[in-house]
């Protein structure tokens, strides 16, 4: 399955560069209670509304879940921005396009391409 992720209104976690974060996303799938990392986007520098390049993950069954974590890349330790958990069945029933609030601040759009 090929997915494209984008986010809006992410917080600025780089106070040295006002209005910016260097955001990237990690996608995990869950089958049988275990989370497995399925993909990582590139870092989009200096942007609180990033749009990441599409990437391919193994097709997940309708009985599984997606967890997407958004991070701010920093020298040393990255900062957690927020996450969301979505059932694959719910995502597919929404025509493969879903916008959801992140756990902390901002929204995430998941699109099947």
Q: pLDDT tens, 24-50? A: 999 998 877 889 999 999 999 989 999
Domains of the chain: 2-112 (2.60.40.150)
For residue 108, the cross-strand partners are 7, 100
This prediction has a pTM of 0.91
What phi, psi does 21 have (nearest 5°)?
-145, 155
Quickly state the pLDDT bin for 61 (edges 50, 70, 90): confident
Cα three-residue angle 79-11-68, rounded to 5 degrees: 60
DSSP β-ladder status, 34-40 and 79-87: unpaired
């Amino acid at each position: 399955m090929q997915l494209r992720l984008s986010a809006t209104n992410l917080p600025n976690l780089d106070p040295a560069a006002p209005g910016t974060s260097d955001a990237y996303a990690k996608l995990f799938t869950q089958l049988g209670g275990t989370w497995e990392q399925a993909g990582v986007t590139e870092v989009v520098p200096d942007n609180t509304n990033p749009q990441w390049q599409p990437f391919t993950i193994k097709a997940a069954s309708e009985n599984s879940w997606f967890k997407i974590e958004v991070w701010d890349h920093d020298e040393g330790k990255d900062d957690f921005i927020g996450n969301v958990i979505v059932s694959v069945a719910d995502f597919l029933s929404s025509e493969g396009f879903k916008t959801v609030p992140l756990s902390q601040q901002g929204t995430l759009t998941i699109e099947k391409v």
